[in-house]
Structure 1
């Protein structure tokens, strides 16, 4: 700070309930009753208190309110997803947020980046902030670190993947059957050399989709060929590189099955860069924005993300409302959306 600069203005203290009471001309207890929504307060007094609160810019201390209520509830839940920027994660989060908002509950969101250590760190950070429950897309295979939290009353619901070494509610898609449907669709179109590009095989959903890919080939009596399989991770650039390598093979695949949305986007970029988008068939797992307006449109195995999110949120709030039934896993079906890329026959002809 230079000599000519005025000293920094001290931060103004937040308005208090006492100040609201003084301005409204009522007792502090009356302000408390209005803030907590007690229905027996005279409407005229409620209006006066709210007008005073608005004039002062008063906001209630929700943490203090939860302690006074005695039930320990904070009207917040935590949500941990793979990557908040991923279209699947974003849609899932928004759906849970919509359900929570209907109940006046705030959702605190964190991204895990498929890092089990980060999962533990963020889960504990949210629990330390006394969230009433957690919705988790787990990054690791061991959630036993949450057992003690479960016993002290933190409610947990896992979505997209089941918890490992922990008995907890889960809502998942039928990943294996979805992958089988994708490969069967390409087989029906006449393809026999179908490549697989997917996320890391250590991720449960990726492992299930890869298992579905292999099963569909086995049933069709097609030998598995490791040369046309790539576990790229979820990086779009890694998927571009992997797709380019596959398509440059002496005996390249005539069709691609990509088992994650960012991997699908990378494969689309590679096909278009090589001018093969109308020649090589392609089915992706998970829908993504603009997939329907590309030429050709991208055929996908779509998850019902809204149903996943609403079911997960519903299960969590049911637990918060006192449901003590045994933990259960709900499995949602997927569906094939045909848009053109998955209907390209070997040689580049469109199969209707």
Structure 2
């Protein structure tokens, strides 16, 4: 189960819920017996257990997991926090689903939230999840330094970074070789005869964006092509801005004949701009990150695919190992991306 986490607001009046005492009174048993039944503990007969459950159902009783957590020796809440950048983006959404699937059989629920590249929001959400006694934390950080998590690590909270590496704290991470992926995209376009290759990238301070820019530049250098600063546009944040940037680049006296887009939402903006200019079949495009319906546009999109299913599964596996008592050195798993050729990246220089 996945629940979206929002930071706490003000108190609101609400009807009082039934308590264990109410259930005990209706079932004609002690509060301790009700506690045994709702917590799945032994010590109650089948007949008593059924009577308690029927009373709880009649009273719409809901067990207070937070209260029982405080009483349990292992202090487990059954909740894992997942703080990703944008749950509305197909990459974060796919990763979250894979994580949820990997944890479900162990009885763990995922409490998720979007960080939107806001470090203060990250710290607030982490504090909220710690207060809720989350069993573990999956973090795609917005902040650049993570020493503030040392105290949580010290008390045994499992921490797994995803997509971005930890800095200032040594903990588990699952990332993709972003530099290699961007180099693959650029080299693929160079192999098609392109020499004027533009790149649109995310915020410059984001580590993944830095790595993808480095990969783009290394491929140009490897092919002995001069780097033109006018063809690299960093800090492009959305689809509309990407569309505008591509339109402006196409208006240069010596325009690019191919594009590398450093994020799926930027790819969508580039597709719109090329279609508006009537250049979808003349200008090549390779996007970083696959997304739904990328194979249905015309021409179908060539992309650098991150295996989101595997990323989420590996994160879940590491987290479960830590919860089971694994105290080995932090694991830093780096997965290789793959080039998916569909047509847009195979357009040769005109």
- State whether TM-score is above 0.5: yes
1:283 to 270, 283, 286: 286
The alignment partner of 1:126 has SS state of: helix
Aligned residues: 338
In the alignment, what sits opposite 1:90?
93
Conserved 8 A contact 2:204-2:235: no
* CA distance in 1 between partners of 2:230 and 2:292 (Å): 31
Is 1:315 aligned to residue 348 of structure 2?
no
Q: Shift of residue 104 of structure 1?
A: 2.3
The alpha-carbon deviation at position 147 of structure 1 amounts to: 0.6
Residue in 1 that maps onto 2:237:
234
Partner of 2:45: 42
Instruction: List gaps (5 residues or longer) in structure 1.
Output: 1-9, 348-352
Q: 1:11 to 1:204 in 2, by over 3 A?
A: closer
Alpha-carbon distance in 2 for matches of 1:310, 1:45:
41
Distance verdict in 2 for CA 1:39–1:334, change over 3 Å:
farther
Runs of 4+ in 1 over 4 A off after TM superposition: none
Choose which of 107, 118, 121 in structure 2 pairs with 1:118: 121
Q: Match of 1:148? A: 151
Aligned partner of 1:33 in structure 2 is 36
Q: Which structure 2 residues correspond to residues 295-310 of structure 1 after superposition, within 5 A?
A: 295-310=298-313
Residue 341 (structure 1) aligned to one of 323, 340, 344: 344
Q: Does 1:186 align with 2:189?
A: yes
CA distance in 2, matches of 1:103, 1:45: 28
Q: Are 2:246 and 1:243 equivalent residues in the alignment?
A: yes
Residue in structure 2 matched with residue 61 of structure 1 by the alignment: 64
Q: How far apart are 1:180 and its partner, in Å?
A: 1.4
Counterpart-to-counterpart distance in 1, 2:67 and 2:219: 57
TM-score w.r.t. the length of structure 1 is: 0.92
**1:11 positional shift:** 4.8
More deviation, 168-177/312-321: 312-321
Q: Deviations along 1:201-248, whole A, 9 cap, x unmatched? A: 211101111111111111111111111110133311211111111111
Which of 170, 174, 177 is matched with 1:174 structurally? Answer: 177
C-alpha separation between the residues in 1 aligned to 2:244 and 2:74?
Answer: 54
Moved more, 14-23 or 254-263: 14-23
* 8 Å CA contact retained: 1:171, 1:312: yes
| Equivalent residue number for residue 166 of structure 2 | 163
Equivalent position to 1:107, from 110, 113, 124:
110
1:80 aligned counterpart, secondary structure: strand
1:159-212 alpha-carbon deviations (Å, 9 max, x no partner): 001111110100001111111111121112221211111112211101111111
| Shift in CA distance, 293/39, structure 1 to aligned 2, threshold 3 Å | farther
What is the deviation of 1:39? Answer: 5.0
Aligned-residue offset at 1:22:
2.9
- Displacement of 1:69 in angstroms is 0.6
- The aligned counterpart of 1:350 is none
Contact 1:180 1:216 in 2 (8 A): yes
SS in 1 for 2:244: helix
Equivalent in 19, 24, 32 of residue 22 of structure 2: 19
1:23 Cα offset (Å) = 2.7
* CA distance, structure 2, for counterparts of residue 211 and residue 199 of structure 1: 13
Q: Cα deviation per residue 1:273-330 (whole Å; 9 max; x = unaligned)?
A: 1111111000000011211110111110010111111111221221122110011200
Measured against aligned partners, the alpha-carbon deviations of 1:13-54 in whole angstroms (never above 9, x if no partner) come to 211112222333333222222211225643343333222211
For residue 144 of structure 1, report the CA deviation from its aligned partner.
0.6
